[in-house]
A and B are shown apart, each in its own frame.
Chain A
């Protein structure tokens, strides 16, 4: 019978059916970072358990690391304590750690693919909701909580129920100035932030086939913002090309045998899906969020919807969002002044994102009074960008060129909004308080749109800059 990638990978990793009816699923790759793992190691110790497969777990530091001065001890004693705990846990249990200065440190969802750790047909777990990112390579990648990290450390398994599968067919060619970020924002807008609950997403269609691996990573990254825990793209030539030669990818003859296996892990052409949604990529425009969840977005030239046109149950959220953001129904976001511009995160902190932003940044200077930060997603991204001179383009335009980390995506390090500041951000969440100030406001958009906003000092349509 025809099977999907979800069916095949699930079957291959099923240890047994549990008495609860769930599946005991083996986890092929486990990634950890400093924020969600210390409590899991603590629970492990309390129960006298060991790490079952230390060689299948890899660690890095990303959320709390400062992006300016990175010498240890960190200035923030709490951040220092978390870094020290991670290092100690990794040493004690024999878990490889990509520490600051190793050349391999970075945001966990940037380094997994970059190092070739993430591979097609794997099950992947990480104590972070954006683990869905790794699905871009044809893996089933789950965001988990700390108690589940304990489960994976102790048993290399999770108790899971198999999700339903929705295929998102994205057809056509993306217009210039419209990026993978706009595609995923448009999908979340259309299906809603809870539209994917209970589903895994398979992204397919000609627009996805034409995307580079980095664009696919952006697409899969925000799967969770639409409510689905897992999203993937079937492995293809783009995937194999991307993996070739990466440090943890199979090498030489083994690589060719791996490609053969990866090919047959993809969904069969006649496989069936629980649901299917189509999206025309050709019709998309740059998207900007106006609200406090990633589904509350509009095309950059479109007005914010009138809450009176919405179903009764949605109105309270809309009103709350408008009040928090100080926007009016019918208002267009074009011309909204911004205080801060942030380019980075696991959504848009890769080399191609920095290139797209630099293409805009080279045409002007950051507007007076605005702060603009470029934070590469990993040490490797920083190196590659510097080799191309992107850092100089940014610096000459008045952007700060930082070191790798999560930074202002969630403001756990010193990079934060202050007060009611408005930030044009290439990250993934516009939740209240997300960027470190309880009253700070976030407008999500593509990195090129952020760069354009930084220079204009206000939201503008990047297509005007590029034309």
Chain B
């Protein structure tokens, strides 16, 4: 079961303004009472959607979007992979924003959702533009780390390690880690707290 390389993502976008949107908001704690990730998409942003009728995830015009555009520190807080899983199952295949919570970023990488960073002015331009043109397609190129919308091409950034994982198709790291084979056991035997003090 080898994951596929991810080089390009195309699709319509859904804008989600707001800084510091934590993973409790993406998927509230009560939906973590489960032993599978199945069906989580139904509850993505549940409480925010109840409280704000015009929440983007309630709006018909964004249905079917696959690129989520956010602001700063998106996905901070709890390490729950339920958050990116809920977004993925809803249809999100890439996230673009000013910055991301660190554990959220690695969880996204581990399930094949690239998170790209834009500088502030480009991020606000993109948020604004996609909200006016919900039908327009964006394309994200991980080779050049650029995002294209209409005539405009934005330069994004992404930590090199994660970018290579997508380009090489090693974002699901289990197989890669297994390839180290015996070297893992050799290292374990060298650690005094395992070998014995």
A85 located at the interface, meaning its Cβ lies under 8 Å from any Cβ of chain B in the complex: yes
Residues 121 to 180 of chain B near chain A (Cβ within 8 Å):
159-162, 164-165, 168, 170, 172-174, 176-178, 180
Q: Closest chain B residue to A82 by CB distance?
A: B35
Q: Contacts A39-B37, A129-B79, A144-B106; is A150 near B174 (CB within 8 Å)?
A: yes
CB distance from B56 to the nearest CB of A (A): 15
Given contacts A258-B192, A438-B50, contact A316 B174 (CB under 8 A): no
- Complex Cα distance, B29 from A82, in Å, reads 14
Question: Does B58 interact with chain A (Cβ within 8 Å)?
Answer: no
Whether A64 pairs with B192 at a CB distance below 8 angstroms is: no
Asked if residues B33 and A79 are in contact (CB atoms below 8 Å), the reply is yes
Q: Given the interface contacts A156-B188, A293-B22, does A21 sit within 8 Å of B160 by beta carbon?
A: yes
Measured between beta carbons, the chain B residues less than 8 angstroms from A131 are 79
Interface string of A92-136 (1 = CB under 8 A from B): 000000000000000000000000000101100001110100000
> 8 Å CB contacts to B: which residues of A206-239?
224-225, 227-229
Partner of A35, one of B1, B24, B32, B107: B32
**Given contacts A12-B190, A193-B20, A432-B47, could you give 6 more A-B pairs where the C-beta distance is less than 8 Å?**
A19-B168, A26-B188, A26-B191, A81-B35, A431-B24, A434-B24
Write the nearest CB–CB distance from A84 to chain B, whole angstroms.
9
Cβ–Cβ < 8 Å partners of A151 in chain B: 110, 173-174, 177
Tell me whether A258 and B111 are in contact in the complex, defined as CB-CB below 8 angstroms, given that A13-B187, A47-B174, A429-B24 are known contacts: no
Residues of A close to B77: CB separation below 8 A: 129, 224-225, 429, 431
A70 touches B (CB below 8 Å): no
| A301 contacts partner chain B, Cβ-Cβ < 8 Å | no
- Do A24 and B177 touch across chains, with their CB atoms under 8 A apart? yes
- In the complex, how many angstroms separate the beta carbon of B111 from the nearest chain A beta carbon? 6
Check A254 for interface membership: any CB of B closer than 8 A. Answer: yes
Quick one: given A145-B79, A154-B178, are A15 and B187 in contact (CB under 8 Å)? yes
The answer to whether A197 and B19 touch across the interface, beta carbons within 8 angstroms, is no
For the complex, count residues of B whose C-beta is within 8 A of A.
69
Chain B nearest Cβ from A27, distance in angstroms:
10
| Residue numbers in A under 8 Å from B85 (CB-CB) | 146
Which chain A residues (130-184) contact chain B, with CB distance < 8 Å?
A: 131, 143-148, 150-151, 154-159, 161
Closest residue on chain A to residue B165 by CB atoms:
A20
Bound-state Cα–Cα, A81 to B191, Å: 37
Q: Please give, as numbers and ranges, the residues of chain B lying within 8 Å of A76 by CB-CB distance.
A: 33
Query: A443 within 8 Å of B by Cβ?
Result: no
- Of the four ranges (under 10, 10 to 19, 20 to 34, 35 or more), the interface on chain A belongs to 35 or more
Q: Are A15 and B160 in contact (CB under 8 A)?
A: no
Q: Does A433 contact B (CB under 8 A)?
A: yes
A423 adjacent to chain B (CB < 8 Å) = no
Query: Which residues B86-141 have CB closer than 8 A to chain A?
Result: 99-103, 106-107, 110-111, 120
Would you give the shortest CB distance from A293 to chain B, in whole angstroms?
Answer: 5
A-B contact pairs, 18 of them (CB 8 A): A15-B184, A28-B193, A47-B1, A82-B33, A143-B79, A143-B103, A146-B37, A147-B107, A148-B173, A154-B174, A155-B178, A156-B184, A156-B188, A316-B18, A412-B32, A432-B47, A433-B29, A436-B30
> Which A residues form the contact surface with B (CB < 8 A)?
12-16, 18-22, 24, 26, 28, 35-36, 38-39, 42, 47, 49, 52-53, 56, 63-64, 76, 78-79, 81-82, 85, 119, 121-122, 127-129, 131, 143-148, 150-151, 154-159, 161, 193-194, 197-198, 224-225, 227-229, 250, 254-255, 257-258, 261, 293, 313-314, 316-317, 320, 410-412, 429, 431-434, 436, 438-439
Contact of B102 with A145 in the complex, beta carbons under 8 Å = no
CA distance A389 to B184 in the complex (A): 48
Q: What is the CB-to-nearest-CB distance from B160 to chain A, in angstroms, rounded to a whole number? A: 6
Residue ID in chain A nearest B172 by CB atoms:
A147
- B residues with CB within 8 A of A: 1, 17-20, 22, 24-25, 28-30, 32-37, 46-48, 50-51, 72-73, 76-82, 84-85, 99-103, 106-107, 110-111, 120, 159-162, 164-165, 168, 170, 172-174, 176-178, 180, 183-184, 187-188, 190-194, 196-197
* Least CB separation from A55: chain B residue: B194
Instruction: Assess the B79–A128 pair: CB atoms within 8 A.
Output: yes
- Distance, CA A119 to CA B197, complexed state (A): 12
If A150-B174, A155-B177 touch, whether A193 touches B76 (CB-CB below 8 Å) is: yes
Q: Give A365 Cβ to nearest chain B Cβ, in Å.
A: 31
A410 and B107 CA atoms in complex are apart in Å by 21
Residues of A contacting B28 in the complex (Cβ-Cβ under 8 angstroms): 433, 438
With a CB–CB cut-off of 8 A, which chain B residues contact A159?
Answer: 161, 165, 173, 176-177
Which of B25, B178, B196 meets A432, CB within 8 Å? B25
Taking a contact as CB atoms under 8 Å apart, the answer to whether A39 and B36 are in contact is yes
